Amino acid sequence: MFLPSRQALHSVLRRHNCRLFSFSQSSRNARKGLILGVYEKDKNGDSARFTQAGAAFDTYLSGKLSQMLAISGPPIKKGRSRVFYGLHEDFPTVVIVGLGNGSAGVCGKENWDSCKENIRAAVSSGCRALQDLEVPVVEVDSCGDGQSAAEGAVLGLFDYDDLKSKKKFKVTTRLHGSTDLAAWEKGVAYGEGQNLARWLMESPANHVTPTVFADTIEQKLASHSDRVVIHKRPQSWIEAQQMGAFLSVSKGSEEPPVFLEVHYNGHPDTSKAPLVLVGKGITFDSGGISLKPASGMDAMRADMGGAATVCSAIVTAATLRLPVNIIGLAPLCENMPSGKANKPGDVVRAKNGKTIQVDNTDAEGRLILADALCYAHSFNPEAIVNAATLTGAMDVALGSAASGVFTNSDWLWGQLQKASVVTGDRVWRMPLFQHYSRQVTDSQLADLNNIGKYSRSGGACTAAAFLREFVTAEHWAHLDIAGVMSNKDEVPYLRKGMSGRPTRTLVEFAAGLASKS
């Protein structure tokens, strides 16, 4: 393909009163930036196709934008961006982002909506480019899906720098035009919900203790007091509830445990059976007496990812005023080694009376969830869904591609899977066979063993089977989110760090229940 020389290229640009973007150039004085989408060439097309907003902008400029795009280099690849200056007085900086194939949609092989994922990745790329250029205000093309565009913008710009002296440049994003405003605002709520979970998970354990975690969620829900009731249950309440498994984990730490209980009454009929969400809330996991290796232990500040995603989903539901009743339960504590900590071989008694032999103190998440799941049944729920960074085995099995789902309900699986296709934050069904149950019920000293007969085989499955021993509800699902806890570069619209996944899938799942009710 013929490409003009740089001298010829700049000559054309000067005739149009434009400049080609260069990373050495500065746009610190730019007032606003604009992000517009472009699709790949179709089979019969000779040039890339702009989105509706992009085409309108190009028409206003008498085709100048398409000319600049054509001569500035090869077609923009999916998820990439290209920046131009001087095209428009109100938008000194314009970013064109690649949306891939415009005909993309739900992909059965990938189990997500490729169009939505392309928009999220493209918009996040454009927003980061403008953030690096320190453009303070950015208008974003909806690209045909305002919600996905907003999610890409909000998620793509998040960076945990609270404790750094040098902060990321602050960028304010808003929708370009007004035709998709409701969808944009919904996407902002979804994105901010996941960012809340990311903030909680990323924060150091000495900054977000069980008490601070509970206080943070209370503050986030303060403006929804007409629909939300919060209980921060102290240790005395936990003892009165006979949650011996939860207490056994917390007793090794100097930080007091908290059982956080959040009631969101969004349905007009407050007596309607609620959805109960349960999240593992280990704010730091040392492994206890079964101490983890030092390498990577710092990441265990995010072992409360289940509680973070569950509580953030409820904050989002309240923001959107979803017409559904939700109860969130988060047993919060640290798992630390001390003279009071659980010892391998100890036997503890759960809320439902079952005894548990604790052969590995690093399998603590299932202990605190056992008592929380027992308590969840007292609300006569429509369904119970728990989320937990439970097993390294889940990371080995699926990696960061999807959260593993273990469920006794085909209906519940269908609802979760449907929600994950929309959000792109996927789930994958895992087996819940009696084969695994027999491994955790074969215990020398107690009714159950917390690591199973064969500790290294099917670890995620035996952990799920253990939890099942505390469930009698017809519709229950356990999400093992250990594999999706953090992001390196797998999800292009999330920076490196704790991911906050699958917050948006939980919100979309709740929204699905709300629409049916």
Name the residues annotated as catalytic.
292, 366
Residue 210: CB atoms within 10 A of its CB come to: 27
Tokens at 256, concatenated: 């007091």
Provide the residue count of the chain: 517
Amino acid making up residue 199 = W
- Antiparallel, parallel or unpaired: β 403-407 and 346-349: unpaired
Residues 6 or more apart whose Cβ sits within 8 Å of residue 24: none
CA distances from 8 to 4, 407, 440 (A): 6, 63, 73
Listed residue (153, 131, 142) closest to 30, CA to CA: 131
Listed residue (33, 114, 42) closest to 79, CA to CA: 114
Tokens at 179, concatenated: 């035709």
Q: What is the dihedral of CA 168, 320, 143, 180, to 10 degrees?
A: -120
Residue 443 CA to residue 136 CA, distance in Å, equals 61
Tokens at 76, concatenated: 């923009």
Listed residue (457, 451, 459, 397) closest to 429, CA to CA: 397
Decide: residue 406, CB within 10 A, 0-12 exposed, 13-18 middle, 19+ buried.
Answer: buried
Task: Return the bridge partners of 332, or none.
Answer: 258, 281
Residue 463's φ and ψ, nearest 5 degrees, are: -65, -40
3-state SS record for 27-86 = CCCCCEEEEEEEECCCCCCCCCEECHHHHHHHHHCCCHHHHHHHHCCCCCCCCCEEEEEC
Residues 6 or more apart whose Cβ sits within 8 Å of residue 294: none
3-state secondary structure of 206: coil
Tokens at 247, concatenated: 């207490």
Our CA angle for 146, 120, 507, nearest 5°, is 70
DSSP per residue, 99-140: ---TT--EETTTTEEHHHHHHHHHHHHHHHHHHHTT-SEEEE
DSSP per residue, 437-465: HHHHH--SSSSEESS-SSTTSSHHHHHHH
Residue 277 CA to residue 317 CA, distance in Å, equals 12
